[in-house]
């Protein structure tokens, strides 16, 4: 039996209590200050309000001032917070971390540092560790097609655990794997993280097709959507290689698989549909804000485009190798009409 603490009561971290409980592990759940309403609901009903599903009865809940107690004697720390909250949570965890612990992270994205350096979320976590612990606490990132509600409903799900410490990833695979939640292991953290981050941005293009078909008065745009899907996979793989990742990773669960499940539904698709139907990007984003929905794909395209420009400046690639990224940049950041840009797009063979 493993001892696990989930830090943050977000949907994915909370959903992972199901496979962990199915394997008989001891699970603590601590919510941040932003999770207190969710925690109150769980205490009262044992149901996560955003998932709409019951959490394991064996789950131990901890109050906001009980972080130290929740982490005590834990071997696995699962970060269940959004990428923007990683640094602050790591600062709070710092005094309670010990050699031998493993940090598992569900948040996805790339972060641009003050000097323009672009790093992955596992790198953000590693840099936030106390200096003396950086070689003693490995970080494992979860990637691949994984909708939280489906995980909590025990829908068969396959994911990728990525870490520079393959031993740590394999250890976590044994802890998390069930007949309905299966895990592959890779050392290609870059490939997994680039795929996880950029698929959100490229999913916006697939959502635009749903909006454009209404504008054009056609029943479907599956030819166009399939073309964009294939192009997105190629462009994500190229950017991954530029950063030191492997194309094979992007062409597997962590890239193509994650892009497919993201393109099925969600906030990125909704934003794309609004823009494709004729709304300028700024109006579509304002509509999403009114709904209190954050769209991860919008900043992902911004970071991806700036990253590509850096590689172009250094002579490593040409922007015309990334035509869909360039098109999305012009639509989202330069307010160009989606129908004009996408219908004139010529993809490279």
| Residues annotated as catalytic (active site), given as ranges | 199
Contacts of 210 (CB under 8 A, 6+ apart): 221, 269, 272, 273, 276
Measure the CA–CA gap between 223 and 343, rounded to whole angstroms.
Answer: 13
Is 9 known as a binding-site position? Answer: yes
Torsion of CA 189, 192, 194, 195, to 10 degrees: 170
Is 13 known as a binding-site position? Answer: yes
Is 267 known as a binding-site position? Answer: yes
Determine how many CB atoms are found less than 10 A away from the CB of residue 147: 18
Contacts of 294 (CB under 8 A, 6+ apart): 267, 288
62: β partners: 30
What one-character-per-residue DSSP string does 220-238 give? --HHHHHHHHHHHHHHHHH
Is 316 known as a binding-site position? Answer: no
Is 214 known as a binding-site position? Answer: no
CA atoms within 13 Å, Cβ hemisphere of 25: 25
Is 5 known as a binding-site position? Answer: no
Is 268 known as a binding-site position? Answer: yes
Is 210 known as a binding-site position? Answer: no
Is 11 known as a binding-site position? Answer: yes
Is 148 known as a binding-site position? Answer: yes
Is 12 known as a binding-site position? Answer: yes
Give 243's DSSP letter: H
Annotated binding site for NAD(+): 8-13, 148, 267
Can you say which residues are annotated as belonging to the binding site for NADPH?
Answer: 108, 148, 267, 296
- Residue ranges of the annotated binding site are 8-13, 108, 144, 146, 148, 199, 258, 267-268, 296
**Binding-site residues for sn-glycerol 3-phosphate:** 108, 144, 146, 199, 258, 267-268
* Annotated binding-site members for substrate: 108, 267-268
């Amino acid at each position: 039996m493993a001892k696990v603490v989930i830090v943050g009561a977000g949907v994915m971290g909370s959903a992972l209590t199901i496979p962990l409980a199915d394997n008989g592990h001891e699970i603590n759940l601590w919510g941040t200050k932003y999770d207190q309403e969710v925690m109150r609901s769980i205490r009262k009903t044992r149901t996560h309000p955003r998932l709409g599903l019951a959490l394991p009865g064996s789950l131990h809940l901890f109050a906001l001032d009980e972080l130290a107690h929740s982490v005590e004697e834990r071997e696995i720390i699962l970060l269940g917070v959004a990428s923007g909250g990683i640094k602050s949570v790591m600062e709070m965890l710092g005094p309670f971390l010990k050699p031998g612990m493993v940090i598992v992270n569900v948040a996805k994205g790339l972060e641009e540092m003050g000097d323009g350096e672009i790093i992955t979320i596992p790198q953000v976590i590693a840099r936030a560790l106390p200096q003396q612990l950086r070689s003693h606490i490995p970080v494992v990132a979860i990637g691949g097609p994984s909708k939280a509600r489906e995980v909590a409903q025990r829908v068969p799900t396959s994911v990728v655990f990525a870490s520079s410490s393959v031993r740590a990833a394999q250890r976590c695979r044994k802890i998390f794997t069930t007949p309905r939640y299966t895990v592959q292991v890779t050392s290609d953290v870059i490939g997994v993280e680039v795929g996880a981050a950029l698929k959100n941005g490229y999913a916006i293009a697939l959502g635009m097709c749903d909006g454009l078909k209404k504008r054009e008065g056609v029943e479907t745009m599956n030819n166009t959507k399939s073309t964009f899907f294939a192009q997105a996979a190629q462009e994500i793989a190229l950017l991954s290689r530029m950063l030191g990742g492997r194309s094979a990773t992007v062409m597997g669960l962590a890239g193509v698989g994650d892009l497919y499940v993201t393109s099925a539904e969600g906030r990125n698709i909704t934003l794309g549909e609004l823009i494709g139907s004729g709304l300028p990007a700024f109006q579509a984003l304002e509509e999403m804000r009114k709904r209190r929905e954050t769209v991860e794909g919008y900043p992902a395209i911004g970071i991806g485009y700036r990253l590509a420009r850096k590689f172009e400046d250094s002579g490593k690639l040409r922007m015309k190798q990334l035509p869909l990224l360039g098109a999305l940049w012009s639509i989202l950041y330069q307010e160009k009409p989606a129908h004009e840009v996408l219908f004139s797009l010529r993809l490279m063979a």
